[in-house]
Amino acid sequence: MGAGGGKSESRNTEDSQTVIILSRLPAKIGEVGKIRVVRSHSFYSYSYLRKVMDKVQLRKKDFITSIILIAFGIFMILYTLTEIPMKDSWGGVMNVWFVSPGLFPVCIGGLLIIMGLVLCQRAIKDGGAKKFLQDLFRREKGSSGKTLRFLGILLVIVAYVYLYIPRIDYFLSTMLTLLVFISFFYLNRPDLLKKFFTFYLAGCLLFLAFFLFGIDQQLNEKFLYFMDILVFLFFLGYMAYSRLLIRGDGILKKRWRLAILMSIVPSLILIPSFKFFLLVPLPVEGGFIELMNIVRYSLR
Partner 1 sequence: MFILQQIWDFYATVFSTAFNIENILLLFGSVILGITFGALPGLTATLGVGLLTTLTYGFSTNAAMVTLLGMYVGAVYGGSYGSICVNIPGTAAAAATAMDGYPLACKGEAGRALGLTTTASFIGTMVGMFFLALFAPLIAKLALQFTSFEFFLLAFFGIMISGGLTGQDLVYKGWIAGLIGLFLSTVGRDNLQFFPRFTFGLPELDGGLEVVPVLIGAFGIPQIIQVIRDQLSVGEAKKFQRVLPEFGIIARRIKTIIRSALIGVGIGSVPGIGEDIAAWVSYGTAKKASKNPETFGKGAYEGIIASETANNACIGGAIIPLLTLGIPGSPPAVMLLGALMIHNVTPGPMISIENPHFIMEMTAILCLASVAVFICGLLLAKQVVKVLRIPPPVFMPIVLVLCVIGSYALGTKVFNLYLMVPIGILAYFMQSMGYPIAPLVIGVILGPMADENLRRALMVSQGSFVPFFTRPVALILLTIIVWMFVSQIPFFKRFTAWLKGQISKTKPSERTSAS
Q: Does 207 sit near partner 1 (CB under 8 A)?
A: no
Q: Does 195 sit near partner 1 (CB under 8 A)?
A: no
Q: Which of 54, 78, 101, 276 binds partner 1 (CB under 8 A)?
A: 101
How near is the Cβ of 188 to partner 1 at its closest, in Å?
A: 7
Size of residue set near partner 1 by CB under 8 A = 101
Site for partner 1 in 281-300 (CB under 8 A): 281, 283
Evaluated on CA atoms 267, 269, 272, 274, the torsion sign reads negative
Q: Does 276 sit near partner 1 (CB under 8 A)?
A: no
Pick the closest to residue 19 from 43, 38, 54, 47 (CA basis). 47
Instruction: Write the secondary structure of 203-267 as one string of H (helix), E (strand) and C (coil).
Output: HHHHHHHHHHCCHHHHHHHHCCCHHHHHHHHHHHHHHHHHHHHCCCCHHHHHHHHHHHHHHHHHH
Site for partner 1 in 35-94 (CB under 8 A): 35-47, 49, 58, 61-62, 65, 69, 76, 79-80, 83-85, 90-91, 93
Q: Which of 71, 78, 133, 158 binds partner 1 (CB under 8 A)?
A: 158
Q: Which of 51, 78, 135, 166 binds partner 1 (CB under 8 A)?
A: 166
Q: Does 186 sit near partner 1 (CB under 8 A)?
A: yes
Site for partner 1 in 225-244 (CB under 8 A): none
Q: What are the residues whose beta carbons fall under 8 Å from the beta carbon of 118, sequence distance 6 or more?
A: none
State the binding string over 253-272 for partner 1 (x if CB under 8 A, else -).
-----xx--x---xx--xx-
How near is the Cβ of 201 to partner 1 at its closest, in Å?
A: 17
Structural contact between residues 35 and 143, judged by C-beta atoms closer than 8 angstroms: no
DSSP class of 94: E
Q: Which of 153, 236, 240, 251 binds partner 1 (CB under 8 A)?
A: 153
Site for partner 1 in 14-33 (CB under 8 A): 14, 17-18, 20-21, 24-26, 28-29
d(CA 139, CA 133) in angstroms, rounded, equals: 12
Give 8-33 as a DSSP string: ---SSHHHHHHHHHHHTS-HHHHHHT
